[in-house]
Each structure stands twice: as structure tokens, then as C-alpha cells.
Amino acid sequence: MSLIVQKFGGSSVANAERVMNVAKIVTDTYKQGNDVVVVVSAQGDTTDDLIAKAKEINPNGSKREMDMLLSSGEQISIALLAMAIQSLGYPAVSLLGWQAGFSTNSVYSAARIKTIHKERLKTELSERKIVVVAGFQGINSKDNITTLGRGGSDTSAVAIAAALHADKCQIFTDVDGVYTADPRKVKNAKKLKEITYDEMLELATLGAQVLNNRSVEMAKKYNVELEVISSLNPIPGTIVKEVTKMEKMLVRGVTKDTQVARISLIGLDDIPGVAFKIFSKLASKNINVDIILQSVGRNETKDIAFTVSKDNADLAIESLRELPFVGEDIEIKCDTNVAKVSVVGAGMETHPGTASTMFEALYNNDINIQMIATSEIKISVLIDIKDADKAVEAVHEAFLG
Amino acid sequence: MSLIVQKFGGSSVANAERVMNVAKIVTDTYKQGNDVVVVVSAQGDTTDDLIAKAKEINPNGSKREMDMLLSSGEQISIALLAMAIQSLGYPAVSLLGWQAGFSTNSVYSAARIKTIHKERLKTELSERKIVVVAGFQGINSKDNITTLGRGGSDTSAVAIAAALHADKCQIFTDVDGVYTADPRKVKNAKKLKEITYDEMLELATLGAQVLNNRSVEMAKKYNVELEVISSLNPIPGTIVKEVTKMEKMLVRGVTKDTQVARISLIGLDDIPGVAFKIFSKLASKNINVDIILQSVGRNETKDIAFTVSKDNADLAIESLRELPFVGEDIEIKCDTNVAKVSVVGAGMETHPGTASTMFEALYNNDINIQMIATSEIKISVLIDIKDADKAVEAVHEAFLG
């Protein structure tokens, strides 16, 4: 008998029919003799609807009250799923974050899980109940409700799997696994049977949008075996785990990210500390910077360019203007017509030919590279957004075609 | 400085505009230097919508899960109201039933409050926050969410007022007080400045639909001064408290209840224990019986008639048929075209003329009396439903015109 944690997102429980579908999957797993903990998100658009209600009353309500409001969404879905499981003749009990023992810090709307008090979960499982847990939420040390922020339900599921030493944590989504590229765009895209945590982290960061990053980091830390699997198509998905023996395939996937903007500062004085001050300013505003390019310009000036997410572009520019050395003579350019295309694979670092294969594929397709960034397991290039799909296709063909 | 508990029902917080209106009332009270605890119900039709969602998935979901589901309704309204108060520039904190310390028994969907752990409420008030509490809900000894059943938010408000020894508990509704009769139907209906708990209990039971009975019982037990007051019309309402000196007015109000059915058993054997067995059978099914009439019929048989609420009529008949002495020769009649009209007043018992005044008023209007019941502070008659409004008008005119 195994203990399996299953997580279902908002679209998987959007209406009565889908809730029944989830109940079917869960009870099928339970029938095979497994203990099952199910983590669910709020139904469909519930969270957006609640946010709209709040904005109408107060666009700047406290984050504590927003968390109080939003956490009601999962409360509805866990109760409905528990009732759906009961309607199939199986015992179920729903638990809110605080009932399931989720203890977090006090950063409302982006709380971190500190620990899970396992007693209640263990008691319910020992009575052979299917335990339905509200994802995305917990309580802080003062008994106030907190939420874990974007993708929080994935994190909730992995945290439970880690705490209970579950045999597997299945993340059900609307795709049937992790692909070497977006299968809607690249016809030769292949589904991966296995992938390492680090590779998955790069793919998640790079816009594969399958798994939330924090949940993968946590799975890696506690060595929780993840499976990305479809809630509509009952075939094996992709397993995310520490693979000791590398497979032959060097590159795991090719991704694009179009939610990126390039910001350039032109004509900065070429004196020490400029770059440091720019990037610590951005860090102080919680703006993540990705690819960075610094070039010495003419007349003892230099240019600095970097990428941020499109959401953060305006805030980044505003913050830069607060710096004393970014006067009116310094031009700040912002280009949102860019895309980041990346290849990811854990074996890459030992194969120096990867970069040249990628650049050749782009060159053969007349695609101009604006910026380059590399890490142990990925190579990213910034290109014009209009070339993004063509670039993914070409690079995928070169490595995985 | 006083401590005031204010309760607002679902229609008072049905949309953003009304939530802001409530925030205005609450902050006006706070501005005058008072400590304020606000108890709110779920917005408008939220509870009905949630019930519909549940029924679609499982018409027989466990009551525990129904309570989990329904309690999300107040969670939404408390968060929105707290944000509305914040938007007016005042400090507010919302608390769920369990956070506010509501400890109940385990009768899901109709739980009774056992105690209120006051620490959290006191702490928040000591920081001069306006405390917004979710009505209708609590937790049992195993940390499961319970709901208090119909009208539960009134009970929550009174319970907090009792626990904190509040100076007043204001129940805001869509009427501006308690009237001697329904002011939409009886043109001479007068608003009462004051009324005793017992009178209010009789009026509530008899269909005045202003205050939930359990809340009035609790207010009486803990001597909490209640005020029934309009959330839309800022004028003084009706105070419910123990009045020591009786006012001159003998009768406090005239009410009608059309949600009543008369059930008659015709031709029972006239042997001892028949009535006892009938009414203990109904009690075992939790069916409340009101007016009872027993008459000896012909040929050593007798007839028994009584009234129940329309909702319970089918169940009552079904239960009666289970009794061994209610064979096929016993006719069971059910009449739902009846109404109960009552006069209520605490001074009534010492004035023997009340009954005759009432009967005379009915006689003068050609209204036939089917059944009569009296208590220390009320006289009720059962009449044809078509005469109900005319009867209320006539009786009101006789006592209060």
C-alpha cells in the first residue's frame, strides 16, 4: 500500500462535471489500496471573481483581508470534492489549510510554509479516509489565514508529500506531461518520460508553465517524486526525480518566454559601482533580472542592458530614474517586442558543442541573437518576438528532431 | 465609552454599495468613541447558490461538508466589510467563527454554541480595531467547522454581546423596528419603542420574522439589551429588554402565520394513551406541534386535531401511519388553507377581557374560529387562510386602533 498525494488545479474542478471526474480519479487510486491525500485549488475563475469584488470596494485593502477573502475559494472546492467522493460511496473529509496543519510565516499573499503539523492528516488517513486539502493556504503564528501566492497549490501538495513521506506526488494539469517543446507549436515535440528537478526548474522558469517553481525546489529539497499528468487523459505522465544515470538525450526541451522586456541604459559614465548600484536598486524593489549585457561605449561611457518580466518593466524604469547617476542625459530604452528562447538539459555542461548547434540553427533561419545567457543546464537567447516560434522549431529540430 | 455589537444580515451586504453603507454605519458608531464588534451573514443569495452547487454534485453530502461549504459565505462578506471599513480610514480586522473563539457542539448544520473563548476578541478591541466577525459559524471540539442553522448570525451576535458584556446588541434589518402588526398590511400599525423578551419570543414564533428565536432566548438568559433597527433608515428602532414597569398598552402586537397546516385524525378508539402515543411519535421526528384540539366523537371514538408547520405536514402524516392504532379505517385529513392569528402582550394574563375582545372582533367580521390556544402572553386562533388579513386588521383595530 502506497501513500499518494494528488493535486488538481482550478480548471480541473471548474464545474460539477469536472469535480465528478476528479472524484473518479481519486477513488480509482484509493480502490487500488492506496492512501490518498488530494490537494485542490479554487474552482475556475473563483479567485479572479473574488479579486474583482474586493477591488470594487477597496483597491488597496490590506493583504491580510485579501488572504481571508481568497482562501474561501479553496474552501468551496474541497467541500464539493469531498461530497463528490462521498457520492461514489467512499469516505472523504475536507480540511482547510489550518486544519491540515499548514503553519506559515506572516507574509500575506506570498507566505512560506514553515512546517506542517501532521497529526490531523495522519489521524484521518489512519481511518482510511480520502483527505481533501485546500491548497494555497495556511495560518501564521497568530492564527491569521495566509496564502502562498501564485502556484501555491502545487507547493501545498509537495509539502504534504514531503511531510508524510508520500510515495509519489501527482500534479494533474490540462497537459499530459512535460514535452521537449510546446506540442501545439512544434510538431516533433516529444513527451519526456523522466526529467531531473534542475531541468524542470529551468523549464518552469523559462515559460513551460507546467509546474510552479517553488514546488519543484521543494520537491528537490525533500526528494519528493513528482508526476505531471493529465486529469482528462489517463496515460502515464512525466516523472520528475533525481536521475542518477543520464539518458543519452542531451537536451530535454526547448522553450520560449514572450513575457519579457529588454531595458537598456545608454551612455552611463564608465566608473566603478554603476552596475552594482543598478542591480541592487532593482533587487530592493523585488524585480528579478535575467540576462545582463554590459558593453563599453564610446567617449568613456558604457551601456547596460538586461531583461525583466514585462510586468515589472515600468517599475524598473521608474526605480532606475531614482538613481543619482541616471540623469536626463541617460537614455532608457524599453523593448517589449522580444522573446527568450532556451534549450535545457542536465548533460549540457559537459558538451561544448551545444551552444554552437543552437546558434547555427538560428543563423540558418536568419534569426538575429540580441543577448545570450548560459548556465550549467541551459542556454538562453533573446531574439525578436516575431521570430520566436520559428526559433523554437529550428532549435528543436537541431537537437530533438 | 461603550461596547456595541452590530449585526447585519445578508441583504444588508448584498453588493458593494450596501457593504459601503454598512461600513458607514459601523464607523459612525466607532467615531463616537465606542468599541464595535460587527457580525455579518453571507452576501445576498450566496448561501442558496452554494447549496445549489452542492445539490448538483451530491444531494446527500454529509452535513459536515455542507457546513464546510456554507461557512465560506460569511468568510467572503467579513473580508469585504473589513476592506470597506479600511477604505474609510479606520482599522478593521475580520475573524472567522473559530478565530473569534466560537466553540460549539457537533450537531452539524444546527450546532449550539458552548462557549466563546474571548481572548482574541479582547485583544483586537484593546488595539481599538473594529472587529468584523463571521456569523452563523463555529468549530467543535475536533476543530471541524459547524454552522448554527437558520438565523444563526443573530445568535452569534447575541452570544458575543453576552460574552463581552456589551452595552447593546443592535440587529440591523430591512425594517425599522417591531410593529404592533405588519405595517404593509395594517395601516394603523404602530412601532413599539420597547418590548420584553417574552413578548418578542411570541412575536418571532408567530411569524413576525424580525428576530431569530434562539437569539432572543439567549438575550433573555444573559440579559443582553437588543435593538431592532433599520440599516437603511437611521432612526431609533425597537429595544428588546426586561421591562419592569409595564406600560399601559396591554397588547403588543397582532401577527399572522400562514405557514401552518391542520392535521385531523378522525374516529380513533377512545382508549387511554392514544394522544400520548401520537404526540411522542411526532416529537421523535422533531416535529413541533402547536394548537391541539381533542373532541369525543360518536360511537366511543374521538377525533384529534393539531397544527404543524406546512413543511412538516407530509412527514407528520407518514409518521402517524406507522402507529399500530392508526389503521386504514382512521381518516387523516390535512388542511393547509389555514392561518394562525395571534395577539401578544405581557400584561394579558391579568386581563380576562382580552379573549372576548378578540373573539368579538372576529365575530363582527364573520370570521369563523377553528381552534384556539392561549398562553400567559398570547391568544392564537386558527382561521381560514382567506380571512387572515381581515382578521389581523380587525383584531388590531379592536386593541390598538
Half-sphere exposure of B364 (CA within 13 A, CB side): 11
> Are the CB atoms for A230 and A175 separated by under 8 Å?
yes
Quick one: pLDDT at residue A291? Answer: 85
Over residues A14-21, mean pLDDT = 96
Quick one: pLDDT at residue A188? Answer: 86
| Cell matching residue A75 | 474552501
Contact across the interface for B71 and A69, Cβ inside 8 Å? no
CA distance B396 to A51: 51
- Nearest-by-CA chain A residue for B46: A76
Would you list the DSSP string of B316-372?
HHHHHHTSTT--TTSEEEEE-SEEEEEEE-TTGGG-THHHHHHHHHHHHTTPPP-EE
What are the strands of the beta sheet with A238-240, ordered from one edge?
A92-95, A130-134, A35-40, A3-8, A168-173, A226-230, A238-240, A194-195
Chosen for mutation from B21, B24, B68 (greatest number of chain A CBs closer than 10 Å) is B68
Tallying the residues shown for chain A, one arrives at: 401
CA distance A400 to A247: 13
Contact across the interface for A56 and B86, Cβ inside 8 Å? no
CA distance A103 to A359: 48
CA distance B344 to B240: 14
Contact across the interface for A76 and B69, Cβ inside 8 Å? yes
A353: amino acid identity, one letter: G
Measured in angstroms, the CA of B69 and the nearest CA of chain A are apart by 5
Task: Tell me the average pLDDT of chain A.
Answer: 90
Q: Residue B94: list chain A partners with CB under 8 A.
A: 65, 68
Q: Residue A87: list chain B partners with CB under 8 A.
A: 57-58, 60-61
Contact across the interface for B57 and A84, Cβ inside 8 Å? yes
Measured in angstroms, the CA of A14 and the nearest CA of chain B are apart by 11
A interface with B, Cβ–Cβ below 8 Å:
16, 19-20, 50, 53-54, 56-58, 60-62, 64-66, 68-69, 71-72, 75-76, 78-80, 82-84, 86-87, 92-94, 96, 99, 120, 143-145
Quick one: pLDDT at residue B138? Answer: 98
Of residues A53, A62, A80, nearest to B69 (C-beta): A80
DSSP A179: B
Measured in angstroms, the CA of B30 and the nearest CA of chain A are apart by 19
Q: Buried b / exposed e across A72-90, counting CB within 10 Å, b at 16+?
A: bbbbbbbbbbbbbbbbbeb
Over residues A186-203, mean pLDDT = 87
Quick one: pLDDT at residue B12? Answer: 93
- Nearest-by-CA chain B residue for A99: B143
| Band of pLDDT at residue A328, cut at 50, 70 and 90 | confident
CA distance A136 to A102: 10
Burial of A395 (0-12, 13-18, 19+ CB in 10 A): buried
Which residues on adjacent β-strands are paired with residue B227?
A: B170, B239
| Residue A182 in this model has a pLDDT that exceeds 90 | no
Chosen for mutation from A65, A71, A132, A146 (greatest number of chain B CBs closer than 10 Å) is A65
Contact across the interface for B86 and A61, Cβ inside 8 Å? yes
Q: Which of A109-118, A243-252, B273-282, B370-379 has the lowest mean pLDDT?
A: A243-252
Q: Residue A120: list chain B partners with CB under 8 A.
A: 143
Q: Which of B359, B355, B378, B372 is nearest to B262 (CA)?
A: B372
B289: amino acid identity, one letter: V
3-state percent breakdown (helix, strand, coil) of chain B, nearest 5:
40, 25, 35
Q: Which of B322, B203, B305, B187 is nearest to B251 (CA)?
A: B203
E runs forming strands in B205-330: 226-230, 238-240, 253-257, 260-269, 292-296, 301-309
Measured in angstroms, the CA of B32 and the nearest CA of chain A are apart by 24
| Residue A249 in this model has a pLDDT that exceeds 80 | no
Quick one: pLDDT at residue A232? Answer: 87
| Cell matching residue A327 | 540623469
* Residue B291 CA: distances (Å) to CA of B5, B260, B285, B307, B380: 37, 10, 18, 5, 8
What is the distance, to the nearest Å, from the Cα of residue A234 to the centroid of all Cα atoms in its chain? Answer: 23
Q: Residue B54: list chain A partners with CB under 8 A.
A: 79-80, 83
Q: Which of A190, A201, A210, A256 is nearest to A377 (CA)?
A: A201
| Band of pLDDT at residue A349, cut at 50, 70 and 90 | low
| Band of pLDDT at residue A373, cut at 50, 70 and 90 | confident
Quick one: pLDDT at residue A246? Answer: 52
Q: Look at the pTM and tell me if it is higher than 0.90.
A: no
CA distance B93 to B58: 35
Contact across the interface for B54 and A80, Cβ inside 8 Å? yes
Contact across the interface for A69 and B76, Cβ inside 8 Å? yes
| Cell matching residue B46 | 450566496
> Are the CB atoms for B39 and B160 separated by under 8 Å?
yes
CA distance A202 to A213: 9
Quick one: pLDDT at residue B271? Answer: 77
A253: amino acid identity, one letter: G
Q: Which of B220, B210, B106 is nearest to B162 (CA)?
A: B220
Rg over CA atoms, chain B: 23
- Nearest-by-CA chain B residue for A66: B79
Quick one: pLDDT at residue B352? Answer: 66
Q: Residue A53: list chain B partners with CB under 8 A.
A: 16, 76, 80
Which residues on adjacent β-strands are paired with residue B268?
A: B302
HEC profile for B358-377?
Answer: HHHHHHHCCCCCCEEEEECC
Each of the 401 residues of chain B gets a pLDDT tens digit; together they read 799 999 999 999 999 999 999 999 999 999 999 999 999 999 998 999 999 999 999 999 999 999 999 999 999 999 999 999 999 999 999 999 999 999 999 999 999 999 999 999 999 999 999 999 999 999 999 999 999 987 799 999 999 999 999 999 999 988 888 988 888 888 888 898 989 898 888 887 666 677 888 899 999 999 999 999 999 888 999 999 987 555 555 688 899 999 999 999 988 887 777 888 888 888 888 888 888 887 765 667 778 889 999 999 999 999 999 998 888 888 899 999 999 999 988 767 666 678 888 889 999 999 998 888 877 788 889 999 999 999 999 999 988 87
Quick one: pLDDT at residue B316? Answer: 94
Measured in angstroms, the CA of B2 and the nearest CA of chain A are apart by 26
- The stretches of B222-312 forming alpha helices (DSSP H) are 274-284
Secondary structure (3-state) at B49:
helix
Contact across the interface for A65 and B84, Cβ inside 8 Å? no
Chosen for mutation from B18, B51, B80, B137 (greatest number of chain A CBs closer than 10 Å) is B80
- Nearest-by-CA chain B residue for A134: B68
Contact across the interface for A99 and B65, Cβ inside 8 Å? no
Comparing B327 with A112, the larger pLDDT belongs to A112
Chosen for mutation from B13, B46, B69 (greatest number of chain A CBs closer than 10 Å) is B69
- Taking each continuous run of H as one helix and of E as one strand, the counts in chain B are 11, 20
Contact across the interface for A76 and B72, Cβ inside 8 Å? yes
Would you list the DSSP string of B129-198?
PEEEEETTEEE-TTS-EEE--TTHHHHHHHHHHHHTT-SEEEEEESSSS-BSS-TTT-TT--B-SEE-HH
Contact across the interface for A58 and B87, Cβ inside 8 Å? yes
ipTM: 0.80
Of residues A57, A72, A82, nearest to B84 (C-beta): A57
